[in-house]
Chains A and B, each alone.
Chain A
């Protein structure tokens, strides 16, 4: 099993809603990532978790709240988003330190978010 699974695939929400994006992997990876990708742009790193602890936060606004409840799951909680937050949100996983890390990230297919 070499998949990173993201749900939902599509999400439409209002600016006052609270929603969550979910990501799951069963490759035994201990690092998980959230990226944001706007149309025709490269992915931009938002957060990195290593061994379920937040290790990198790329100065993301607090209306995005990540959570890593266990080694296989990664959530992104969304609250009070703005229309400019509409984008494809990609989850990825990789080996972390102590796992023979060879550097590559494995990506899910993304959650397409539209904020009205």
Chain B
């Protein structure tokens, strides 16, 4: 069975500081990995994804993530956080099935940005 662990429930950083959100996954094959962001009362927006190739992937809004197979990790990073980055961040793992993509989400990390 596939699963995702996000060990940090809440993280607070100062604006301009760097950020790393942790994600560990369990999956039986080469995983499809995603980071989504959700602002209050909104849907989920895809930040970036990995399914093959270069293990360092770039996303929108200045985010990047690195896939480390040996550590089963896919941590999200940003060198300088902006106040508008405050939101809930979900890591997800999934695989293609004949009938769609079955994604499993982590429990999320709530990011607070101090001005």
Contact = CB atoms under 8 A, between A and B. Distances in A.
Interface of A: 4, 6, 31, 33, 40-43, 45, 48-50, 53, 55-56, 88, 90, 92, 94, 96-97, 101-110, 112
A42 B99 contact: no
Interface in B81-97: 90, 94-97
Nearest to A43: B105
A45 B99 CA distance: 14
A55 B97 contact: yes
A42 B43 CA distance: 11
A55 B101 CA distance: 11
A97 B105 contact: no
A1 B100 CA distance: 21
Contacts, number: 80
Contacts of A106: 46
Nearest to B45: A107
Interface residues of B, number: 26
B108 A102 contact: no
Contact of A45 (B34, B98, B103, B108): B103
Q: Which of A6, A49, A97 has the most C-beta atoms of chain B within 10 angstroms of its own C-beta?
A: A97
Contacts of B46: 104-106
Nearest to A29: B100
A104 B49 contact: yes
A110 B42 contact: yes
A112 B41 contact: yes
B51 A103 contact: yes
